[in-house]
Amino acid sequence: MMEDAIPLASSKTKVKCNFMQNITAVFWTADPNKSPDKDGYIGDRGSASSLSVLLHIVLILQNVQEKSPLPPGPTPWLFLGNLLQKDVIPLDKSYPKVRSVVGELSPCSQNYSLVHKYGPIFTIWMGLKPAVVLCGYEMVKNALVAHAEEFGGRPPLPILKRVMMGQGFIMQKDAKWRDLRKFTVSTLREFGMGKKTMSERVQEEVLCLVKDITAVIQGKTFDLQKSITNAVSNVMCSVVIGKRFDCQNQIIAGHLCIAEKLISLFQTYLGMVCCSFCVVNLKKTSCELTYNQEDIVMSVFGLFVAGSTTTSDALNFAIFVKARLPHIQAKVQEEINEAIGISCVPRMEDWARMPFTNAVVHEIHQYRKVNNENFACSTTCCTEFRGFAIPQDTVIIPHITSVHFDPLKWETPEEFNPAHFLDEKGQFKKKDAFMPFSAGKRACPGEALARMELFLFFSTLLQNFHFQLVGEATDMDLLSIYDSYRNKILKLPIQATKRLL
């Protein structure tokens, strides 16, 4: 009976069903210690039927995946989707080819790439939830800019929802998001964001950081991450609350700690699992159209959360770049000496006269790898895109790292190369494939402030200090040192010395 089942089946599904029966039979007869029952099967009926159910589910899921309107992608595991598949998640690790700064291929460079296998648009499964991943400049730009409305939603973010009680504009979509974002950004502008007064506040903060580092240098070590995070958060405090806080202040330290833990959890694998399996009640957030005081409070908290760790991470990475690439550090310092001198504090006006420093700051964004699986967008309606009918509320991950490593847009994407942003005369040139702040409707509203902070912190720190690697890190490549430091495998391997001005 079992043998002629397969040839008799005509459709693919039927073949699968009969194939299931064969598999089930094989498992039922697999245990040599059990004697055959009246149907001729050997074994424990209970476990065999569970196994059979399991295998049926696998095949049903496979079938569902084949018929899904979503782009194809790596086969998910039952319930977990692709979450435990190290060659899929996190995407920045599976995205190809990391070349060390000194030029040789690192061991992971031979990783197979999802893009090579499935093309620049594919689906991954975060547990039972599908997410469409967009890779490379053309694909990401086309979706976020040409289809801005359709890709401008935000999926439920369970961790943020819990902390922010579903309020504030990061969590919203549609009209409420638009109104709240407009209100928040215009109020911040009135408070000075993006204006000259803002750059003075940033300068004040950098000078405090310089003082702190100078004081600690005598003791030789300093907590780089903490000092930078405090400084960056204080910039936000001075914008939003109108005053800065001493880094010893317990209240602000408590708030920073919450924001930092929240973001750290958000970026980790554990955070991804939480977001994949938590069920979010959408009703309250999506149906209310007007905002209230709590929404405004949470929008401000959202600015802290979204603005502090992102900027301080970029600044931390910038210091690692300086220490790992002394020739770049020296060239920036030379430019600072010429354009600003040794006694004036760098200002935004200097930016235009410092093309190399400007290019290095841009390259820092370009070269850094970021995980944005947990801070994705979503479709606001059923969307026809690249031959797929993507249903409304599907999670969309515009893979920024893939844009910044797109070999069609960057001459040497795997090398830290400031020349990406310089023309043949050594002048700064913009690149359209530069999008660390994303693009379209959901693009980062803090871009102007973040750029200002990066330039002023970067140039003032290099005007005052010389950074160098110490210990085992001296033999490691840039991305490995930074990853090891962030994952607390390596203690801060950097020493700062005051420059003799």
307: contact with ligand HEM by CB under 6 A? yes
Residue 271 or 446 with smaller CB distance to ligand HEM? 446
493: contact with ligand HEM by CB under 6 A? no
91: contact with ligand HEM by CB under 6 A? no
Q: Of 99, 7, 289, nearest to 176 (Cα)?
A: 289
Binder of ligand HEM out of 233, 438, 460, 463 (CB under 6 A)? 438
Beta strands in 198-311 (DSSP E): none
Binder of ligand HEM out of 291, 446, 494, 496 (CB under 6 A)? 446
Q: In the range 203-232, which residues lie near ligand HEM by CB under 6 A?
A: none
CB of 19: closest distance to ligand HEM in angstroms?
43
Q: In the range 166-205, which residues lie near ligand HEM by CB under 6 A?
A: 169-170, 181
298: contact with ligand HEM by CB under 6 A? no
Alpha-carbon span 222 to 213, nearest angstrom: 7
Q: How many CA atoms lie within 13 A of 480 on its CB side?
A: 15
Q: How many residues bind ligand HEM (CB under 6 A)?
A: 23
358: contact with ligand HEM by CB under 6 A? no
CB of 442: closest distance to ligand HEM in angstroms?
4
Q: In the range 125-154, which residues lie near ligand HEM by CB under 6 A?
A: 154
C-beta separation of 464 from 174 below 8 A: no
CB of 184: closest distance to ligand HEM in angstroms?
8
Alpha-carbon span 129 to 94, nearest angstrom: 20
Binder of ligand HEM out of 76, 90, 418, 436 (CB under 6 A)? 436
Alpha-carbon span 109 to 415, nearest angstrom: 13
Alpha-carbon span 207 to 197, nearest angstrom: 16
Binder of ligand HEM out of 314, 319, 339, 452 (CB under 6 A)? 314
362: contact with ligand HEM by CB under 6 A? no
114: contact with ligand HEM by CB under 6 A? no
155: contact with ligand HEM by CB under 6 A? no
Binder of ligand HEM out of 73, 81, 302, 413 (CB under 6 A)? 302
Residues in a beta bridge with 471: none
Q: Of 332, 348, 319, 301, nearest to 449 (Cα)?
A: 348
**DSSP string computed for 378-437:** E-SS-EEETTEEEPTT-EEEE-HHHHHT-TTT-SSTTS--GGGGB-TTS-B---TT--TT
Q: How many CB atoms within 10 Å of residue 35?
A: 8
| Torsion, Cα of 169, 170, 174, 175 (10° steps) | 10
User: For 70, which DSSP code?
Assistant: S
Q: Of 334, 339, 318, nearest to 450 (Cα)?
A: 318
Binder of ligand HEM out of 94, 227, 234, 310 (CB under 6 A)? 310
Residue 143 or 339 with smaller CB distance to ligand HEM? 143
User: For 84, which DSSP code?
Assistant: T
DSSP run (H or E) holding 368: none
Q: In the range 389-428, which residues lie near ligand HEM by CB under 6 A?
A: none
CB of 444: closest distance to ligand HEM in angstroms?
3
Binder of ligand HEM out of 199, 238, 311, 460 (CB under 6 A)? 311
Q: Which residue is nearest to ligand HEM (CB)?
A: 446
DSSP run (H or E) holding 295: helix 293-324
Return the ∠ at Cα 343 (arms to 342 and 349), rounded to 5°.
Answer: 85
449: contact with ligand HEM by CB under 6 A? yes
* Stretch of 39-47, 243-251, 440-448, 489-497 contacting ligand HEM, by CB under 6 A: 440-448
* Stretch of 2-10, 16-24, 111-119, 442-450 contacting ligand HEM, by CB under 6 A: 442-450
306: contact with ligand HEM by CB under 6 A? yes
C-beta separation of 360 from 418 below 8 A: yes
Residue 199 or 310 with smaller CB distance to ligand HEM? 310
* Stretch of 34-42, 212-220, 441-449, 479-487 contacting ligand HEM, by CB under 6 A: 441-449
CB of 376: closest distance to ligand HEM in angstroms?
7
Its sign, for the CA torsion 199, 308, 141, 483, is positive
C-beta separation of 72 from 119 below 8 A: no
Residue 404 or 409 with smaller CB distance to ligand HEM? 404
Strand 129-134 to 121-126 pairing: antiparallel
**Contacts to ligand HEM by CB under 6 A:** 154, 169-170, 181, 302-303, 306-307, 310-311, 314, 375, 377, 436-438, 442-446, 449-450
